[in-house]
Amino acid sequence: EADIYQTPRYLVIGTGKKITLECSQTMGHDKMYWYQQDPGMELHLIHYSYGVNSTEKGDLSSESTVSRIRTEHFPLTLESARPSHTSQYLCASSPGARGYTFGSGTRLTVV
Amino acid sequence: QQQVKQSPQSLIVQKGGISIINCAYENTAFDYFPWYQQFPGKGPALLIAIRPDVSEKKEGRFTISFNKSAKQFSLHIMDSQPGDSATYFCAATHSGSARQLTFGSGTQLTVLP
């Protein structure tokens, strides 16, 4: 039933590894967002995109990068993971007028 | 000016009681106010939303009350159930922000059986 998909759901990885968190949506939404969230806590916007080849940094400084080569795909990459990157990462998309649809998130643990 | 302040941070209610979560905003340009519900291990999901031209919107046991002059809005959960236990986020947006949502800090609701 989900129209926005995040993979993997859980990831445990060693310090210094490069990782990519995948986010895809089938709704044709132009706007997509990445949030970082500790469980049950505030949502912190780290990246957003208003369309293909458009990406911006959010309110929370992040060492991650994103790309938007296709409308439906908005991956997030960490070049060198650190324990401070341990968190939940939520992807969302929006048509602009009616709020966001969120994915189920990726729970990242860096050991 | 973009901030949305949410309270309380956590709330414990007995089954059958009324849960009330409050939000206040500063930016008078905001024109759409959604509430999101998030269960552990899931992303937030849209619960109910209101525009400032109405003072109340009700969907089942969930009601948003909106006070434009006070720049406040609140979520009321009537007959609260243990299954309502979740984190609730208020949010606000306006067309000048490209419809980007500004979220409150969240309220963790626990409904005791």
pLDDT bracket for residue A99 (50, 70, 90) = confident
Residues A62-96: pLDDT tens digits? 899 999 999 999 999 999 999 999 999 999 999 87
Give strand pairing partners of B57: B64
| Closest of A92, A98, A87, A88 to residue A34, by C-alpha | A92
As a whole number, mean pLDDT of residues B2-8 equals: 90
- The span from the CA of B9 to the CA of B12, in Å, is 11
pLDDT in tens, A15-36: 999 999 999 999 999 999 999 9
Strand-pairing partners, residue B103, are B91
CB–CB contact A92 B100 (8 Å): no
Other CB atoms within 10 A of residue B94 CB: 16
pLDDT band at B57 (very low <50, low <70, confident <90, very high): very high
Instruction: Kindly indicate the confidence band of residue A104, based on its pLDDT and cuts at 50, 70 and 90.
Output: very high
| A-chain residues near B40 (CB < 8 A) | 39-40
Our CA angle for A85, A86, A88, nearest 5°, is: 105
Q: Which of residues 74-103 of B touch A (CB under 8 A)?
A: 87, 89, 91, 93, 98-101, 103
Q: In angstroms, what separates the C-alpha of B17 from chain A's closest C-alpha?
A: 22
Which residues of A fall within a CB distance of 8 Å from B46? Answer: 98-101
A1 in reach of chain B (CB within 8 A)? no
The pLDDT tens digits of the residues spanning A34-59 come to 999 987 789 999 999 999 999 999 98
User: If you ran DSSP here, which 8-state letter would residue A70 be given?
Assistant: B
Residues in B touching A31 (Cβ below 8 Å): 98-100
Give B39-73 as a DSSP string. -TTS--EEEEEE-TT-SEEEETTEEEEEETTTTEE
In this structure, the strands spanning B45-50 and B33-38 are: antiparallel
How many Å apart are CA A64 and CA B75, to the nearest integer? 35
Tell which residue, A47, A43, A46, A7, has the closest CA to residue A24: A7
pLDDT tens by residue, B100-110: 899 999 999 99
- The pair of structure tokens assigned to B33 is 């106010």
